[in-house]
A and B are shown apart, each in its own frame.
Chain A
Amino acid sequence: MSNNKQYWQNFGDLTQSDRFKQASEKEFQEELLPLEELDGKGLLDAKTPRRDFLKYLGFTTAAAAVAAGCEMPVRKAVPYLQKPDTVVPGVADYYASTYVNAGDAISVVVKQRDGRPIKIEGNDLSPLTKGATSAQCQASVLDLYDPTRLRHPLQKSGTDYKEITNFESLDKLVGKAITGLAGKALVLLTSTIHSPSTLQIISEFLAKYPGSKHVQYDAVSYSGMLQANEATYGKRALPQYRFNEAKTIVSLGADFLGTWLTPTEFSKQYAETKKVATKNPELSRHIHFESMMSMTGSNADDRYTHKPSETGAVALAILAKLGGAVNAPTFKDVRLNKGIEETAILLAATKGKALVVCGSNDVNVQIVVNAINEAIGANGTTINWAATSNVRKGIDADMVKLSADMASGTIGGVLVYDCNPVYTLADGASFAKSLAKLPLSVSFNTTMDETAEQCKFIIPSHHWLESWGDTEAVSGNISIIQPLINPLFKTRAFQTSLIKWSTVATIVPPVKDTTKAFVPGNVLESTDVYDNYYKTYWVGKLGSANAWNKVLQDGVIKATTPVGGGAYNGNKLTEAATKIAATKQGEYEVVLYQKIGIGTGAQANNPWLQELPDPITKVTWDNYAMVSPALAKAMFGLDVANKDTKRDADKYEVNPEKPVLKITVNGKNLELPTLIIPGLNNNTVAIAVGYGRKAASDDNEVNYERIGRAAYKAGQNAYPFVGFDGSTFLYNTVATVTKTSETYAVAQTQVHGFTEGRPVIYETNLESYRKNPLEVLAEPRHERELITPNGKEDFVKDATIYPNYEKPGIKWGMSIDLNTCTGCSACVVACNAENNVSVVGKIQVQRAHEMHWLRIDRYFTGDVENPDVIFQPMMCQHCDNAPCENVCPVAATNHSSEGLNQMTYNRCIGTRYCANNCPYKVRRFNWLDYNGADSFDNNQKPLIGTDTNEVITQMNDDLTRMVLNPDVTVRARGVIEKCSFCVQRLQENKLEAKKQQDPSLVRNVKVACAQACPSNSITFGNVNDKESEIYKVRNVEQANRTFYVMEQLHVLPNVSYLAKIRNTDREVNNGNEREHHVAAAHGAEHKIDAGAEHKAEAPAHH
């Protein structure tokens, strides 16, 4: 495969360094067994083995004898006393609800099994998200069972807290405190709220207390956009973006598929524009300008980098090229200049079908972006002003003023709900001080977080899975929250507290049903004030209880969203341009970003999210300083991407310990491990926020209890680096960076497997695909021909000595579209939740012991400074001719007549031969008892503290275990596990089809990853059924793009992939761009297509 384009996972892979090659040859680097002295001698002659042998013999005999003498425990079966009619034990129910997290809202359907919510799925009826979910949304079911959740209301007394035993005395205490404020202002500090009923309650509450006000505060602010829109469109609001209408999508540092505004909704829209049609395919063109390497940037067709402070200048340059009346700055980077020029030409050519979005929180930059969008006719087409988005409303200046007022003592009381300013504010420490000094402070947060710790009263509110509620993410689009479970703890809806304290008699409906008689079958009415208020509110609005029930069933109120433009006013443009020109620059700059898992840090104590590898860096459990290879060379003298200095790549990569970089911003320091990632701007250090959660106390036990075993000690807090320019918070800033001699170990999941230079991915650009759709897969086709014997045609049957087994009924198959997969990892978390996949903790991830059944491989390709990135979800390929099955000595893994590679845990003896023989490296071994599933109680004890993170104990808490799917075995220590194609769902679906006597119902089956995918990249079904979607994709619609990974091994996988088609002018075909990246790494200047000229000097490879 020497004429192939190289795809590399890390620098060792790129430079083929010695240690990398060594490692790929010796795949399992585990220490040898204690029997190693055996070499060359007979078993009985060796010294230790004889003793060991006797020891093992003795132990096993004793164990067998003990086990044989065991009595079976007496098990109880306790049926309901009064079984509700709608409940059938053992059958899951599904209810529509809405995932909410600060301003985020995603319509979902929640699976409830025997009273416990266990899995979240997208709600197809939502006109916004259309069934899409995100990693955070998938993981939030685990937050319900978070052991750090507060179990009852608390009152601070000294440094400790005491329980308030009932809500009546609580209301009295707070009521007294409010009256004691003596006219000083009362402030309600919340995250963005777009619940119509809550907003009404808040306005009633504010009316009751004159001088009080409501401040909305977003941990990561969009104030810049809100204020820019006020300046240009006269509305302090966010428009609704319509990526699906765009042919050209330009993003200036907006991670719109990962973390920017409503990424789930945008992913769905974006995927529509990236679907390759069978005939005359047309794709959107996505151009990305950014400083770091974001997930969205990695999906771009063309990508350019610049310093964080240059975002405004890039916007100005584009506007000038489009004919705007501003001065066009030019850049030293020739490639960037050319990119801007090409972008402007494209934008102009696709007027009315183009969209520019920008991730900056600088008002001036956003004003320029608005001007660009006006110039390209986006207003009213791809940007909808007729219905505005309500997901972020925080104005930074309000928050800064509140901090100042609190410090100066003009504020009497603060009620905090759903936000954590002590942690997320740059100067959280002084906010904490003034909060602690206030006469009245109440926290409604669900845990004892950094802010709640400072409050006098803590009245935990419900998790969203326990509450009633409503959301209006886009004006007119209501999505309903309904509870899936009775509140687990003594918590109370935040709204109920507000209603109680404003005591407006008219809004509290009388509690019905005062009779004490027991009537079988009667449903108990909720006595909670907000529940009744809320129901009355909506029944009133919808006109009837029937209409309300229909809405509860659907989860959304379907409304047609109007599309229209806003009245544009460009007055502020000149002023903005002047201010941008004066932006302060530095040699090194820091840009703060959110990771798709941890986000702002609100869900930081979620082990699933902590262990979710970042799509780009593949790091778990930490944040770090992300830098480019050039910056790393300047700092540490490590030239990792250079073939001549292979040792540097090894030095950096072989051990988990990474050199630590000291970053200083305004006198504040952070020392973070350095992650070298290609494709970053050479002067930029990127740091994720959301990490470094910590209680005020340094005590470990206090932190475990309040912050949680997963969040505590995971990374460091980067929020103190957030700047303020007098009107908005800024997430990029000038910094000084210095090297330290320290190292810090990070847990990275790539590279735990190697491709060994085998091609696993095929791609081409749109133009060549349109010219000759067959060319992209010419190589695998050729390979197939090579190993099919002469005169034979059937690759499946003839190219092997093994017999061909028939699949008489169903044959399951999956197809994954590499063109629409964005790497968002919702599937990974969905798989964790559905299949009880263990969390192993940071130390175990470092040892390549992670248990994820589904991983997303990230490959870089092309030029080191401007690489292309490609994501490949990889799970068990369910090979029909599976290499793992042949080597199992106990037949614990074998094949089903439906094409499933079956793994039988109770049969597995843990030889791991199968994992060794798997070409895809998807089999996972339970090195330790991660779940407490072993029958020997003490098996877990030696692990805690020494061998694993404390998080393992958190995941084995009785409360956390409520999230387990009862249909899937919890695996014990010493067995292999892997993707089962969600066999429990397949069996359930087949059973339903058999009950209904209708084979077409099999088409309804959805595996967890396919269900969660916001871009519909995964198609699953019965390939024997010609009407099924999977059959059509593979054989009819996308036959030209369908390939199997490493098909030449003749393992006959049941998972196929669709080749990636990039909409770019660059040559990205496999085989055309040989070795050019290595050569390019030497040069300082890069052309967009440098392939040809470097070909000659490239050394022969492999």
Chain B
Amino acid sequence: MRFVASLILIGFISNNSVFAQGEALFKANCANCHKPDADFTGPALKGVREKEPSKEWAYKWVKNSPVVRETDPYGKALFAKWNKTPMTAFSNLKDEEIKSILDYADAYQPPAAAKGGNNEPAQDNSFLFGILTLILAIVAFILLQVNSNLRKLSDDKDGIFRGEPVPFYRNKTYLMAGVLLLAAVGMYLTMSGWNGKGGGMNLGRQQNYQPEQPIFYSHKVHAGTNQISCLYCHGGAQDSKQASIPSVNVCMNCHMAVKEYKGEAITREDGTAVNGTAEIQKLYAYAGWNPATKSYNPDNNKDGIPDGASPIQWIKIHNLPDHVYFNHSQHIKVGKQQCQTCHGNIQEMAEVKQFADLSMGWCVNCHRESKVDFYNRADSTGNKFYSIYEKFHTDIKNHKMDSVTVENIGGTECQKCHY
């Protein structure tokens, strides 16, 4: 049955590559503000071409809406209708690409609710190991006692006088071993912790850290349900060291139009309900936006921000020590990593929690396993930067290695992250 289904799926994909391309383009470029079947920050795209003056009008609009909205009557009206929310000009999209996006929107069917995964929790065997160690230690102790008694018996038999045996609790050897054992156990517990979270080893680590934020911002609603691309808000991730939390004006790009929350109920981790609309009101207070007049507060003191506005003091969840240099753009743009690799399934988190422990071992493991986009001289694919690694090119040619990992190009060396 599954075999048949996958055959059908393959057939579907090959016959509908245009559809797939449209979907990909839509998600990359449009999903932040548009939905195929519902109005969002911008209008629903399904059947939008029928309302427009001509079939080609959309190409003009998408490529250069800031100009079209000033000159074209339909554009003017559209702009006015949508509260003068500007649409970004996508001059890089080709006509056929825009067409494929709109085709995708026209053919879109809302998906059936998907089932959640059921991951089994990892087994922890340390308790078993502990009992085993204890039993072995007792056995060893008994054997040692037996051994000394036997020796005493044999000595008595041979007439060698050895004096009264020292009881084990006064035997220096046992005492020393005991002290050392205690010290070792104590040190181990101090370093690694006995309850799985404390301990020196985890000092400064905050896995599963989930603080309460000044605004209950749900990534599940934004990135999950509404499919807003991560980079729309965290644009720094592809340009900068910091992914950066979006400034309030970025939030307001959409929330000038999105005034209330009508989606699925949002609940906190502890089960209490969250009033989405009230959270949006909090945003308006921070932004200095008056939802009644649909305008920003005036700027009477001329400090460049609306009166009463103040920046949002988010609580930083992912903290690295000062001696670690981490660059988002390196991983997103060059390494082509998904945000989820390090941040977990952020699109399913109503409240963000730290997914990984962000320990050095965790970083290094990934650097050992991940392959770089190595340059292939035969077909000129891959990142041309790596064309300078002469040795690896020769080794690949001679089948000494089949791929190049981050570690191969020095990704586990100290000064890649510590300087």
Q: Which residues of A contact B (CB under 8 A)?
A: 64-65, 67-70, 72, 74-83, 88-91, 516-518, 520, 522, 524, 527, 806, 808-810, 894, 896-898, 900, 902-907, 967-970, 980, 983-984, 987, 990-991, 993-995, 997-999, 1024-1025
Contact = CB atoms under 8 A, between A and B. Distances in A.
A393 B417 CA distance: 52
Contact of A904 (B190, B314, B383, B415): B415
B305 interface: yes
A76, A88, A968: residue with the most chain B Cβ atoms closer than 10 Å: A88
Contacts of B235: 88
Contact of A83 (B193, B240, B247, B314): B247
A984 B418 CA distance: 9
Contact of B248 (A74, A82, A969, A980): A82
A80 B384 contact: no
Contacts of B240: 88-91
B385 A993 contact: yes
**Chain B binding surface, main DSSP class:** loop
Given A969-B419, A991-B330, A89 B236 contact: yes
B333 A995 contact: yes
B410 interface: yes
B242 interface: yes
B259 interface: no
Interface string B305-331: 111011111111001011101010110
B244 A808 contact: no
Contacts of A81: 247-249, 286-287, 305, 309-311
B419 A983 contact: yes
A65 B239 CA distance: 41
Contacts of B307: 518
B409 interface: yes
Contacts of B311: 78-81
Contacts of B287: 81
21 contacts: A67-B200, A68-B193, A68-B200, A74-B315, A81-B248, A82-B248, A88-B240, A90-B240, A91-B240, A517-B296, A518-B305, A527-B302, A806-B391, A896-B414, A897-B409, A968-B419, A969-B418, A991-B327, A991-B329, A993-B385, A998-B385
Interface in B142-198: 190, 193, 198
B297 interface: yes
Contacts of A906: 321, 323, 418
Given A77-B245, A896-B415, A995 B315 contact: no
A67 B201 CA distance: 11
B388 A900 contact: no
A64 B304 contact: no
A520 B383 contact: no
A863 to B, nearest CB: 45
B236 A997 contact: no
Contact of B409 (A80, A809, A999): A809
A907 B314 CA distance: 32
A813 to B, nearest CB: 15
Contacts of A894: 413-414
A808 B386 CA distance: 10
Contacts of A518: 288, 296-299, 305-307
Contact of A516 (B252, B300, B309, B386): B300
A969 B323 contact: yes
Instruction: List the 3 shortest-distance A-B pairs measured between CB atoms, nearest first.
Output: A83-B247, A90-B240, A80-B247
A79 B245 contact: yes
Contact of A91 (B239, B315, B316): B239
A517 B299 contact: yes
B389 interface: yes
Contacts of B409: 808-809, 897
Nearest to B360: A906
Interface stretch (B89-97, B111-119, B203-211, B341-349): B203-211
B264 interface: no
B385 A997 contact: yes
B376 interface: no
Interface in B215-266: 235-236, 239-242, 244-250, 252
B284 interface: no
A1057 B246 CA distance: 49
A524 B410 CA distance: 47
A933 B392 CA distance: 42
Interface in B81-132: none
Contacts of B300: 516
Contacts of B50: none
Given A81-B305, A518-B299, A898-B410, A999 B384 contact: yes
Contact of B200 (A64, A88, A967): A64
B199 interface: yes
**Chain A binding surface, main DSSP class:** loop
B353 to A, nearest CB: 15
Contacts of A80: 247-249, 311
A1024 B389 CA distance: 10
A999 B387 CA distance: 8
Nearest to A69: B198
Contacts of A89: 236, 240, 242, 244
B172 to A, nearest CB: 15
Nearest to A82: B249
B377 interface: no
A1012 B319 CA distance: 35
A987 B416 CA distance: 8
A109 to B, nearest CB: 20
Nearest to B200: A68
B329 A900 contact: no
A968 B323 CA distance: 8
Given A90-B244, A896-B415, 8 more contacts: A80-B247, A89-B240, A90-B242, A518-B307, A808-B408, A904-B418, A980-B415, A994-B334
A991 B331 CA distance: 10
A79 B330 contact: no
A973 to B, nearest CB: 14
A76 B316 contact: yes
Contacts of A88: 235-236, 239-240, 244
Nearest to A835: B419
A970 to B, nearest CB: 7
Contacts of B309: 81
B390 interface: yes
Contacts of A897: 409-410, 413
A920 B304 CA distance: 54
Nearest to A77: B316
Contacts of B297: 518
Contact of A520 (B203, B296, B333, B388): B296
Nearest to B239: A88
Contacts of B392: 808
Contacts of A90: 236, 240-242, 244
A78 to B, nearest CB: 5
A527 B303 CA distance: 12
Contacts of A967: 241, 325, 419
Contacts of A72: 204, 206, 209, 319
B68 to A, nearest CB: 20
A520 B248 CA distance: 11
A908 to B, nearest CB: 11
B410 A516 contact: no
Interface string B353-394: 000000000000000000000000000000111111111100
B392 to A, nearest CB: 6
B27 to A, nearest CB: 23
A78 B390 CA distance: 45
A76 B314 contact: yes
A516 B209 CA distance: 43
Contact of B391 (A77, A808, A905, A987): A808
B314 A78 contact: yes
A967 B330 CA distance: 15
Contacts of A904: 414-415, 418
B96 to A, nearest CB: 26
A970 B322 contact: yes
A82 B304 contact: yes
